[in-house]
Structure 1
Amino acid sequence: MRTADSAAEFQTAAQWQSWLSQGSTFPVFQPVLSLETQTVFGYECFGRLDLSENVASLGTFFRASDQTLNTLQQEVGFTLAQQVAQFFSPVKDARLIVNELPSHLTALTPLELPSTLEALQQAKFPLNRVVLDVLLEPGFQNPLRLKTVMERCHSLGCQVALGNLGSENSQLDLIPYLKPDFIKISLTLFHRSFRDRQFRRTLEQLGRLAENSGSALLIEGIETAEELQQALQLGARYVQGYYFSAPGRLPAPLPDFQKKLREALENFRMIRTKRIQRQVTWENEMLLRLVDISFVLFEADGLLRLNETDLEGLSGFIHRLYFSDLNGFQISGDYLLSETGCQIDYRDVGRNLSLRPYFFDHVYKLHGRPGGWSLSDVYCDENSRCLMRTFSRYVTPQAILYLDVLWANFADL
């Protein structure tokens, strides 16, 4: 089925009405799959216009923000929803996912339902099978009203998704405030995560934010096995895309999707297991090297110091070394190690390290066993903008030693 969005240049309601009158609207459905159960969770509904020579998407029409279009958009949405109820009713054990814009939802009175839900309700379609996908718009400014509408939808049995997360100007703080059942990230952010580590880490953090808010991550736009694997690595619970099925006129069974999902999950386990094994091997090798490290510590000019000769041979794996007291205040200079030797930078003396991502992690991991080493998670150092991991241990009852390792050297782990 070929689609054409040739109406993008229309500006007025009359132009849109003229364009719509040239054909007939109908819904198409694309499956959303559960990675946990390897089953079809639901089908997302999209509007199409049959123009005899081609088929056009109604996406641009529904996303147009001109207020003069509101009535026409509601009428077309109502008609599509009636068709959806007719086509979708025979489908068992699957959710129906319908799209709405927050600007449309917040324009409703407290007693009004979105036209889509109203049409489904009139057709006696059970609303507890509906997921309302709210597509976030740039500059949206009325979260309180949207929260009220979403709570009403929940009271009617609907689930709610927030879409376009990670797109330009989208507001991530809406996730814990609105508490959606699902979040859908933008295609742009997902595809950028392949090329840029920082975008990938942003998506990983978005997945953790979803989990902490009780939401499930849904990644759409999956077109290849590689993209499916990336979605798994990022924590997706649900996936959708042309890799499984293009949108079709009727919700149809998918003959091979379970095989694709099982293969992806098996590869996911294998990749994660190998990564863990390599990481554990690296950590053990590092700890063995750290066993042989010993320093002669002394105080001078109120600072904790060591002999630079004790650092010979450490530049191959340690980037920076420094000390703090138990309250996190740095009590030494930064010993910067390189192939050319050691330089001492005193600019961070007195800085409080308790605000760094590894300080309380160290306190937690070494509680009750002060003689060992702790190792931080990967983080981005605010000064060098490099990825780091930090080893730390108590060297005296009142002092903590920190060893920073450049994680970029071990990125494949």
Structure 2
Amino acid sequence: MDALDILTDLDNVIPFFQAIFSADEHKVIGYEILGRYRTHNSIESLGPFFMDEGIPEEYKQEVDHVVLTKALDKAVELDKDVLLFINRDADLLMQDDGEVFLQMLLSYEEKGISLNRIVLEISERNYKGQSDHLDHLLIYYRTYGIKVAIDKMGSDSSYLDRIGELAPDILKIDLLALRSTSTSHTYQNVLYSLSMLARKIGATLLFENIEMVYQLQFAWKNGGRFYQGYYLHYPEEQFVDRHIRKTTLRNEFHEFISYEKKKLTGIFQLTESFQSHIQELLGKYRKYSTYEELLEFLTIELSDVAFRMYVCDEDGFQKSENIFKEDSDWILQSHYKNKNWSWRPYFLENIIRMRNEKKGILSDLYSDIETGETVRTYSFPLNSHDYLFIDLSYNFLDKMDVLLN
């Protein structure tokens, strides 16, 4: 695609619109504006044109202006609550301190497109300017009601240090790498962490590049409110019916909900079963002189379930040695005694829960620091001060359908 061919044929520079769907209403809530070029026999993306560093910036600005003008001319006909997602490169935007872009939006506000419907997707991939100058511009835009989205989350972790500074309204998480169920659990954990971060800062999550139902389920499970991708709808030259996927999404979300409820019921039942089993074992082995002796008793009964056990007090100090399964043998690890684990996420919260409810707790999935395996921990109150921790082995979790999801 030759840049001069495009510049001398701007009539064939056109906008395409990719629909963005919502989890709460199952309908189209907005469109991302994408640049396309119509040739004699095909429609080509302008992405390579905008990404080519050899093309002068003024050429890109001119083409960008044409795409946006034609898109906004069409968008005037949309419902008054439909959002418009507009991509802008930070360097191009800052060429004139963002003034031309703002004035264009203000001119269309007079035609009925309120600025609180505009979502600016800002890309800082190769931004050469000062970040505080860009931040000031975005703050200024927000006074007009314009929303700010950070894109490419999940594919470029360098944006993480910018989230706190920009406090975006929307985080776009790229699911391109999550194209099969074989994608590493570690990668899924990273995306889960991003969803937790969005919740903390009050940002809405938009998952993009959804190409399979598995990705849609992941987005739904991890707090995604907005969804975008070829699985839902391809970009088109015209706006689609806002309810085009309503029935499909309703049915698929029903399947997601049913699966999640079944899984949570299974985990609850297993936790109750653990509660009864551990109570029985503690009654059976109530005569012990040290916690290490108790742990050795428990290895007889839990050899196929656990790979590590220990006892901590309510402040997180380890009252026992670790007993750890190495191959088929259990060994005591004395150097763990008196270590403190109160710094671990949810540790004190779970202690209070166990103390108040007088029952055990099954943790969520996490990667064990030492073994690297995916594990869960079952913790149980021994008395009013001390608590038993049982790290469940991956082999055991793998046998239980609900415990590795």
TM-score w.r.t. length of structure 2? 0.87
For 1:163-178, what aligned pairs fall within 5 Å after superposition? Answer: 163-178=151-166
**DSSP-derived class of the 1:27 partner:** strand
The equivalent residue for 2:360 is 373
- Structure 1 gaps of 5+ residues are 1-6, 8-14
| Equivalent residue number for residue 179 of structure 2 | 191
Match of 2:263 in 1: 275
| Range with bigger deviation, 394-403 or 272-281 | 394-403
Is the 8 Å Cα contact of residues 171 and 206 (structure 2) preserved in structure 1? yes
Whichever residue aligns with residue 382 of structure 1, its letter is I
Q: Report if the CA contact (8 A) 2:176-2:210 is conserved.
A: no
Provide closer, same or farther for how the CA distance between residues 398 and 271 of structure 1 changes in structure 2, counting only shifts above 3 A.
closer
2:116 equivalent in structure 1: 128
The change in CA–CA distance for 1:368 and 1:85 in structure 2 (over 3 A counts) is closer
What count of residue pairs does the alignment treat as equivalent?
A: 391
Structure-1 separation of matches of 2:317 and 2:178 = 40
Tell me the residue number matched to 1:12. none
Give the 3 Å change call, closer, same or farther, for CA 158–344 of structure 1 in structure 2.
same
Within-5 A mapping of 1:191-340: 191=179, 195-253=183-241, 256-294=244-282, 295=285, 296-298=287-289, 304-306=291-293, 308-337=296-325, 340=328
> Is the partner of 2:163 in helix, strand or coil?
helix
Once the 2 structures are TM-superposed, how far is the Cα of residue 339 of structure 1 from its aligned partner?
A: 7.8
Measured against aligned partners, the alpha-carbon deviations of 1:345-382 in whole angstroms (never above 9, x if no partner) come to 2232332211233521332213445x532333322211
Q: For 2:154 and 2:8, locate their aligned partners in 1 and report how far apart those are by CA, in whole Å.
A: 36
Deviation at 1:46, TM superposition (A): 0.6
Q: Match for 1:350 among 327, 338, 344?
A: 338
- Counterpart among 149, 157, 162 of residue 161 in structure 1: 149
Counterpart CA distance in 2 for 1:214 and 1:65 is 35
State the secondary structure of the residue aligned to 1:354: coil
For 1:228 and 1:338, the matched residues in 2 are separated by: 40
- Is residue 395 from structure 1 mapped to residue 386 from structure 2 by the alignment? no
Q: For residue 396 of structure 2, what is the amino acid of its counterpart?
A: N
Cα pair 1:373 1:392 within 8 Å, conserved: yes
Match of 1:82 in 2: 69
Distance in 2, matches of 1:397 and 1:265, equals 43
TM-score (norm 1): 0.85
The CA deviation at 1:160 is: 1.5
Distance 2:154 2:356 in 1: 42
Q: CA deviation at 1:90?
A: 0.8
- The question of whether the paired residues in 2 share the 8 Å contact of 1:175 and 1:210 is answered with no
Shift of 1:401: 2.3
Q: Residue 408 and residue 126 in structure 1: after superposition, are their counterparts in 2 closer, same or farther (change >3 A)? A: farther
Residues 193 and 200, structure 1, Cα contact 8 Å, conserved in 2? no
What is the deviation of 1:404?
A: 1.3
Q: How far did residue 184 of structure 1 move?
A: 0.9
8 Å contact from structure 2 (residues 175, 210) kept in 1: no
CA RMSD across the alignment: 2.7
What secondary structure is seen at the aligned counterpart in 1 of 2:56?
A: helix
Tell me by how many angstroms 1:394 deviates.
Answer: 4.0
Q: Does 1:56 align with 2:47?
A: no
Q: Tell me which residue corresponds to 1:92.
A: 79
Report the alpha carbon displacement of residue 126 of structure 1 after superposing the two structures with TM.
2.8
Q: Summarize deviations over 1:222-272 as a string: whole Å, max 9, x none.
A: 234343223212321111122332212221325631111111121121111
Q: Distance in 2 between matches of 1:171 and 1:293?
A: 50
Amino acid in the other structure paired with 1:122 = S
Structure 1 pair 32–90 and aligned structure 2 pair: CA distance change class (3 A): same
Q: CA deviation at 1:88?
A: 1.2
CA contact (8 A) 1:143 1:174 kept: no
Query: Whose helix fraction is larger, Structure 1's or Structure 2's?
Result: 2
Which ranges of structure 2 fall in alignment gaps of 5 or more residues?
Answer: none
Q: For 1:160 and 1:126, how far apart are their aligned partners in 2? A: 15
- Aligned: 1:35 with 2:26: no
Distance 1:323 1:382, change over 3 A: same
1:141, CA displacement in angstroms?
Answer: 7.8
Contact 1:77 1:116 in 2 (8 A): no
Q: Check 1:330–1:140 CA distance in 2 against 1; reply closer, same or farther (3 A cut).
A: farther
Q: Which residue of 2 aligns with 1:101?
A: 89
Identity, % of aligned positions: 25
Deviation at 1:221, TM superposition (A): 2.0
Preserved contact between residue 139 and residue 169 of structure 1 (Cα < 8 Å): no
Distance 1:154 1:194, change over 3 A: farther
Q: Please give the alpha-carbon distance, in whole angstroms, between the structure 2 residues aligned to 1:199 and 1:334.
A: 30
Match of 1:350, SS state, is coil
- Letter aligned with residue 145 of structure 1: H
**Contact map agreement 1:82 1:120 (CA 8 A) in 2:** no
In structure 1, the residue matched to 2:59 is 72
